[in-house]
Amino acid sequence: MQQGVGAKPATASKAKTAKRRPWMAYIAIVPFFLVVILYELAPLAQLALNSVIGRDSEALGLENYIRVFTTPLYTQSIWNSVWISLLSAVVGIVVAFLAARFCSEASPRVRSGFTMVLNMMSNFSGVPLAFAFMILMGNAGVLTLIGEQFNIPFLANFNLYGSDGLVMMYIYFQIPLATLLLIPAFAGIRKEWREAATILKASTFDYWFRIVIPNLMPSILGTLSVLFSNALAAYATAYALVMNNYALLALQITSRFRGDVQTDAATGGALAIVLIALMVICTLVNNYFTRRAAKGREIV
């Protein structure tokens, strides 16, 4: 055995950390932190600060939040934002589920054509989308004209410039996003499951509701949460359609800061924090259910 002959106790190796991990190397990360602090963290902190300094009392407190939750315009905005986002997210996920399912079973040609459409149209949002819907379903829109000529009240009397129109457009931009998020999940459904289920005498209903949907649940919930946040924060589409004349959280927040009359950073800050809180709640609820649904599997 070649035990170290004459091995001396090690003299504490000085300066090794200084030599190998010089603080100089950290310089490269400084610009990143600087920009993140200046344009991400500090603005957030500013909003939080705005929200807790009373507009009228100029004192630290919940004055602004109390105003937000007692003024009909604001409570209505919060409510409208939540239900429009939720409705569009749920409709979006149902359509996306079916579309992703058919897409995963389709021939490669159909599949690539369809995903191409999804990818392209997922970019069609914001102001251009609102404009297209005005041409289509606005007061003198193409479909409105058709509705009048053929006496279809739904089309003829469709009110684009209100909640109906917003829901319609939000659903529009949710579908491609949701489908693109769900298609990869369907790729995880193994053909062997269907075969195994058939051998075990499971009906088609059993197969879908006891095997496929439970297995896809984490992805479905995750997608739902993305859709909800996405709709909650959407601004351009709604603004292009109704300007600030609708009780919607994103519109009201922005108009507090870019008001035609006077800015009201205090109320705007409180509304912004409410919006962030809604998103955080949505994420937390989603995480809770996703973890339950994942049953110990790794959540992708």
Partner 1 sequence: MSKKNAVAGVAPQQKTSLAGKIFLGAVALYLLIPFAVTLVYSLFVEWTDILPSGFTLRNYVELFSNTTFWMSIGRTLILCIVSVIITIVLILAAMYVVVAVNRKLAGVMQFLCMIPYALQGVILSIGIISLYTGTGTILSNRLFMLFGAYTILVLPYIYQGIRNALNSIDAEMLIQAAEMLGCGRFRAYVQVVLPNILSGILVSSLLAESIIFGDFVLANNIAGTNYQNIQVFLQANMDVSSGLSSAIVVVIFVVVALVTAVVLKLQNSSIQKETK
Partner 2 sequence: MAYIEFRDVVKRFGDNTVLDHINFGIEKGDLVTLLGPSGCGKSTLLRCLSGLEQVTEGTIILDGEDITNVPASKRSIGMVFQQYSLFPNMTVEQNIAFGLKMQKTPQDVIDKKVAEAIAMVELTGKERAYPASLSGGQQQRAALARSIVTEPKVLLLDEPLSAIDAKLRKALQSRIREINQELNLTSIFVTHDQDEAMVMSDVIQLFHDGRIEQAGSPVEVYTSPVSEFAASFIGSYNQLSAEEFGALAGTVVPAGNVVAIRPETIGITTERPAEADGCYVVKGMVVDSVPRGNVLRYTVRVGATVLRVDALFRSFHMFNTGDDVFLTIPEHDCLVIPAAA
- Residue 224's binding partner, choosing from partner 2, partner 1, none, with beta-carbon cut-off 5 to 8 A by kind? none
195 binds partner 1 (CB under 8 A): no
Q: Round to whole Å and give the CA distance between 240 and 134.
A: 10
Q: How far is the CB of 43 from partner 1 (least distance, A)?
A: 3
Q: Round to whole Å and give the CA distance between 189 and 55.
A: 55
- What's the sign of the alpha-carbon dihedral 208, 209, 210, 214? positive
- Residue 214's binding partner, choosing from partner 2, partner 1, none, with beta-carbon cut-off 5 to 8 A by kind? none
Cα Rg of the chain (Å, integer)? 27
275 binds partner 1 (CB under 8 A): yes
153 binds partner 2 (CB under 8 A): no
Residues near 244 by beta carbon (within 8 Å), at least 6 away in sequence: 251, 252, 254, 255, 260
Query: Which listed range, 5-13, 26-34, 44-52, 205-213, lies at the site for partner 2 (CB under 8 A)?
Result: 5-13
- Residue 257's binding partner, choosing from partner 2, partner 1, none, with beta-carbon cut-off 5 to 8 A by kind? partner 1
3-state helix, strand, coil in the chain (%, to 5): 75, 0, 25
Per the CB < 8 A criterion, the answer to whether 122 and 175 are in contact is no
- Residue 44's binding partner, choosing from partner 2, partner 1, none, with beta-carbon cut-off 5 to 8 A by kind? partner 1
Interface mask toward partner 2 for 16-55; x: CB under 8 A: xx-xx-----------------------------------
Member of 57, 75, 139, 149 binding partner 1 (CB under 8 A): 149
Structural tokens at position 157:
């009397």
Q: Which residue has the tokens 């490669």?
A: 108
85 binds partner 1 (CB under 8 A): no
- Residue 235's binding partner, choosing from partner 2, partner 1, none, with beta-carbon cut-off 5 to 8 A by kind? partner 1
15 binds partner 2 (CB under 8 A): yes
Q: Round to whole Å and give the CA distance between 142 and 156.
A: 10
229 binds partner 1 (CB under 8 A): yes
Query: Which listed range, 42-50, 152-160, 201-209, 286-294, lies at the site for partner 1 (CB under 8 A)?
Result: 42-50
Q: Closer CB to partner 1, residue 82 or residue 276?
A: 276
Per the CB < 8 A criterion, the answer to whether 127 and 236 are in contact is yes
Q: Closer CB to partner 1, residue 219 or residue 230?
A: 230
DSSP string, 216-266: HHHHHHHHHHHHHHHHHH--HHHHHHHTT-S--HHHHHHHHHS-SS---HH
166 binds partner 1 (CB under 8 A): no
Per the CB < 8 A criterion, the answer to whether 164 and 191 are in contact is no
8 binds partner 2 (CB under 8 A): yes
Interface mask toward partner 2 for 69-108; x: CB under 8 A: ----------------------------------------
Q: How many CB atoms lie within 10 A of CB 282?
A: 21
Which residue ranges make up the site for partner 2 (CB under 8 A)?
1-13, 15-17, 19-20
